[in-house]
Chain A
Amino acid sequence: MPFACLFVPDFSVQAVARVEPELRDKPVGVFAGAAPSTKVFAVNSAARSLGIEVGMTKVQAEGFAGIEWRWRSPAEEKTAHAALLDCAWTISPRVQNAEKENAGDLDDTVVLDLAGCDKLFGSTEKIAQDLARVTANVGFEANVAVADNYSAAVTAAQGFSGVTVIAPGQESAHIGVLALESLRVPQELLETLRRWGIHTCAQFGALPEIAVIERFGQEGRRWQQIAQGRDTSPLIALDFPEQFEECMEMETPVELLEPLLFLLNRLLDQLCARLRMHVLAISEVRVTLTLERNDSRRKEPLQHIRTIRLPVPAKEGKFLLKLLQLDLEAHPPTLPVTGIGIVAIPAKTRSRQLGLFLPLSPDPERLEVMLARIRSTVGESRVGSPELLDTHRPNAFEQKHFVQPEIVWKDGGNEGTARAALRIYRPPLAANVELRDGKPVRLTCEGASRAILAFAGPWKTKGDWWSETAWARDEWDVEVRALRPKREMETGQLQEKEIALYRIYKDQLAKRWFVEGIYD
């Protein structure tokens, strides 16, 4: 049963370079630790060739010119590890983190079970090449090894650079040439073996097993089995994540929206690339901006969280960036930003059968951006499709987010049923109505006094009498000269003879009259 292993050398450096692609071809070092014990935590090969070594103090390291220095970011390492797992999940559903031998080991190694994958993806050589390509797309320079057992694959990936495929039965021969340091053997055991003159895995594997157990115990026996390329550990598969996360910590706070969007664009591209590997789209994006806190006495981070829910799953980073831009323009953070975290909730990609004779409908992704733009123009709560509420209260409605409904074919239209529409005044116009024998005869509103020419009513309605939002009103339809008459085209004077139909009502609780709207 073959196993594959992905190992990212200089993981801390590559985690930083993944979100800053311009660092990939430069010598880069990573500091860790609080001053004054700040030391070099990791360097890449280019920096190593210039003489930088892990463990140097910051003062020593900064004496070297031409090296890009960054601080270690556990958050970025965590998302880099998640991205590495995603690479493995593209090939096999059975994926596991490699066991950590020491407490300080990084999550830089991932093992996947290739049982049955050859039927889907081809030979083990091709799978190994595919894994290398996928990890390169995510931004890693990873070592890939395929072997017939778990530990051999891990040892080969950590020991050989590039792609290594070990034929079944050849594990011992391949791993034997590796130095003992590549096994990550505990330092105490390593020093003992060195004193014995043992430097390679082959030499260690050739020692008598009983003698090794007598001197090193079961731990020594396990290391010897690893050096021999013999399987010792089972693979315990991880669960597929329910959300994908990318984050970044800035060394200097960002105060402007444009550079912030530039960084968001990078993270969104990374997220979309990871989701594309799983043929997934994004249904919800949650952006958490960590803000700079001026009050140094309080330690908890100040965060600005924005959530965008998409009615249709999206997989384009530019589209998401535009939505985020419009949202952040409407709701900007109040302080400079020192960290960004993006969480994406995955969803299955939209599949829709297109046709030549489908009715007109806006493109869902462009529709979302357009709605966001309109919201920024007229206001958040003033865009959407109307929905009537289940109540008799007049003018009771709400606006819901506009989503193009599914097509449901109905038979025919509603020809021949033209309706007179009511145009509502929001808020209703306060009016004064003169009554005679309980019937309206004169309407005064907006400084104009009009004789009522004809009327119909009253329609008495009331509701919610059991609550604080009680309402009661008497409605009348009246015909009067227009309250807001049109101007003449020729003279520009107001038309005095223009007649209009209005709906007026008396609020029985407030004992006041209002003009609710006009029939049109």
Chain B
Amino acid sequence: MEGFRGQVAAELQPCGVVELDAVLGGGFPRGSLVELCGAASSGRTGLAFSLLAQATAQQEACAFVDVSDSLDPASLAAAGVDLPRVLWVRCGETQGKSDGAESSGFFAAPEKRTREKAAYPASEKTLRGQFWTHPREQLRGIEKEIPSLLRGRAKVAESAGIHVVNVRAGRDLAKKSPELSPSKIEMSRNSARENYEKASVRYQTAGAKPWKRLEQALKTTDLLLHSGGWGVVVVDLADISWVDARRINLNVWFRFRRELENTKTILLLLGEESCAKSCASLVLRCERKAEHWSRAAQDCNSGVSILQGFAVQGEVMRSRKQSQPADCARWQTQVMAR
């Protein structure tokens, strides 16, 4: 029919793994959202690094949005990535920024709007606000903080020592304040090690929901895609549970997909499970099949041994382009030599 454009073949970017490129018909489609999902140690990060290496070898600028601050620059360099061409954004800093990031409605959960935010819109970041704070404002929220102090849960502290110190601080507080009955102080009587472990578990499970980091990552990705000119933008949600990642509103992925259209940028999403649904042009599931240890390591009785690498199987879960679902490729990865 006249006036209708024929479907233009998408430009493909080889990912550097020959076996996978063959299955995908040449590589990852440009101008689209690609998801790499899989469990821990499934080889998805190595595949993402391989794609970055290919893109930077073509002199393209790439970005890595690191939601969990887990990128290892040495691994990145060992994968052949040209480091000066990679913009690394480490999400997760909360000091001084916890209130700074504006809520942009990325999540389905209703936004908590504080009285301060309502009184002072974001556009009016006053200089006056830095001068003096009313004592009433300074004490706001203290009634919520005191019980957590007594329980030794305290603030999120990322070093091991701090948890132990907090538990001890709770004990000290209990000794100094005999009016507080021991039953009210929820504190383990076990060793400091057990206390630490429990505190760590709380931190990892209940106390450290990744909303703030996700908020930062999505806002950063939005800015990157909006500015344009990037070859590959990697959003690393690999350490985020898919249960949490799927709380991101679908309209976020729709918007990203729209921003990617008619560009050459690949938005690569790493995660446990696919969360962009139909917005993803390609969904690949990675799975570790077999690891290669040096012979000496297999019986656990010998001396020095080496982890040489592991085999990864990539399965196409969804594809709008050349390859068909259930297409598989298998390749071998190598662990960086020490």
Interface residues of A (CB under 8 A from B): 254-258, 260, 329, 332-337, 359-363, 366-367, 370-371, 373-374, 376-379, 382-388, 395, 397, 399-400, 402-405, 407-410, 412-427, 429-430, 432, 439, 441, 444, 446-447, 452, 454-459, 475, 477, 479, 482, 484-487, 489, 492, 495, 498-501, 517-520
> In the complex, which residue of chain A has the Cβ closest to the Cβ of B197?
A447
Identify A457's interface contact among B74, B78, B227, B304, CB under 8 A.
B304
B297 A362 Cβ-Cβ under 8 A: no
> In the complex, which residue of chain B has the Cβ closest to the Cβ of A405?
B84
> In the complex, which residue of chain B has the Cβ closest to the Cβ of A358?
B59
B241 A487 Cβ-Cβ under 8 A: yes
In whole angstroms, what is the CA distance A379 to B212 when docked?
Answer: 13
Q: Is B324 an interface residue (CB 8 A)?
A: no
Identify B90's interface contact among A260, A382, A388, CB under 8 A.
A382
In whole angstroms, what is the CA distance A399 to B40 when docked?
Answer: 27
B61 A404 Cβ-Cβ under 8 A: yes
> In the complex, which residue of chain A has the Cβ closest to the Cβ of B78?
A419
Identify A417's interface contact among B16, B42, B70, B310, CB under 8 A.
B16
> In the complex, which residue of chain A has the Cβ closest to the Cβ of B224?
A370
Chain A residues closer than 8 Å to B238, beta-carbon distance: 423, 520
A360 B60 Cβ-Cβ under 8 A: yes
Contact with A along B297-316 (1 / 0, CB 8 A): 11011001111011010000
> In the complex, which residue of chain A has the Cβ closest to the Cβ of B264?
A360
Known: A410-B57, A447-B200. A421 touches B293 (CB 8 A): no
B residues contacting the other copy or chain, number (CB 8 A): 113
Interface with A: B108-116, B124-132, B171-179, which one?
Answer: B124-132
Known: A397-B73, A409-B59, A420-B309. A482 touches B39 (CB 8 A): yes
> In the complex, which residue of chain A has the Cβ closest to the Cβ of B331?
A418
Contact with A along B203-227 (1 / 0, CB 8 A): 0100000000000100110011011
B76 to A: closest C-beta gap in Å: 7
Which residues of chain B in 234-288 are interfacial with respect to chain A, using CB atoms and an 8 Å cutoff? 238-239, 241-243, 264-265, 272-273, 288
Known: A361-B61, A500-B41. A420 touches B216 (CB 8 A): no
Chain A residues closer than 8 Å to B307, beta-carbon distance: 456, 477, 501, 519
Chain B residues closer than 8 Å to A363, beta-carbon distance: 227-229
Q: Is B101 an interface residue (CB 8 A)?
A: yes
A501 B101 Cβ-Cβ under 8 A: no
For chain A, what secondary structure do more than half of its interface residues adopt (helix, strand, loop), or is it mixed? mixed
Identify A402's interface contact among B87, B90, B97, B334, CB under 8 A.
B87
Identify A418's interface contact among B198, B304, B333, CB under 8 A.
B333
Most B CB within 10 A of own CB, among A260, A413, A500, A519? A519
Q: Is B49 an interface residue (CB 8 A)?
A: yes
> In the complex, which residue of chain A has the Cβ closest to the Cβ of B50?
A418
B93 A501 Cβ-Cβ under 8 A: no
Chain A residues closer than 8 Å to B301, beta-carbon distance: 439
Chain A residues closer than 8 Å to B28, beta-carbon distance: none
List 17 other contacts, CB 8 Å, given A384-B87, A418-B331, A499-B41.
A255-B128, A332-B130, A333-B127, A382-B93, A383-B88, A385-B85, A386-B86, A405-B84, A413-B57, A417-B16, A418-B312, A421-B49, A422-B72, A432-B193, A454-B297, A482-B39, A495-B39
> In the complex, which residue of chain B has the Cβ closest to the Cβ of A260?
B127
Chain A residues closer than 8 Å to B158, beta-carbon distance: 426-427
Contact with A along B14-52 (1 / 0, CB 8 A): 101110000000000000000000011111111111100
Identify A482's interface contact among B40, B73, B89, CB under 8 A.
B40
In whole angstroms, what is the CA distance A446 to B46 when docked?
Answer: 25
A-B contact pairs, 26 of them (CB 8 A): A332-B125, A333-B127, A374-B223, A379-B96, A385-B84, A385-B85, A404-B61, A405-B82, A413-B14, A414-B53, A418-B47, A418-B334, A419-B80, A420-B310, A420-B336, A421-B48, A421-B79, A422-B75, A423-B70, A452-B300, A454-B293, A454-B300, A455-B300, A456-B293, A456-B307, A519-B307
Chain A residues closer than 8 Å to B126, beta-carbon distance: 255-257
A520 B61 Cβ-Cβ under 8 A: no
Chain B residues closer than 8 Å to A421, beta-carbon distance: 45-46, 48-49, 72, 75-76, 79
A430 B41 Cβ-Cβ under 8 A: no
A415 B227 Cβ-Cβ under 8 A: no
A386 B41 Cβ-Cβ under 8 A: no
Contact with A along B127-159 (1 / 0, CB 8 A): 110110000000000000000000000000011
Known: A418-B332, A500-B40. A329 touches B230 (CB 8 A): no
Chain A residues closer than 8 Å to B86, beta-carbon distance: 385-386
| Leading 6 A-B pairs by shortest Cβ distance | A362-B229, A430-B160, A379-B93, A386-B73, A520-B45, A447-B201
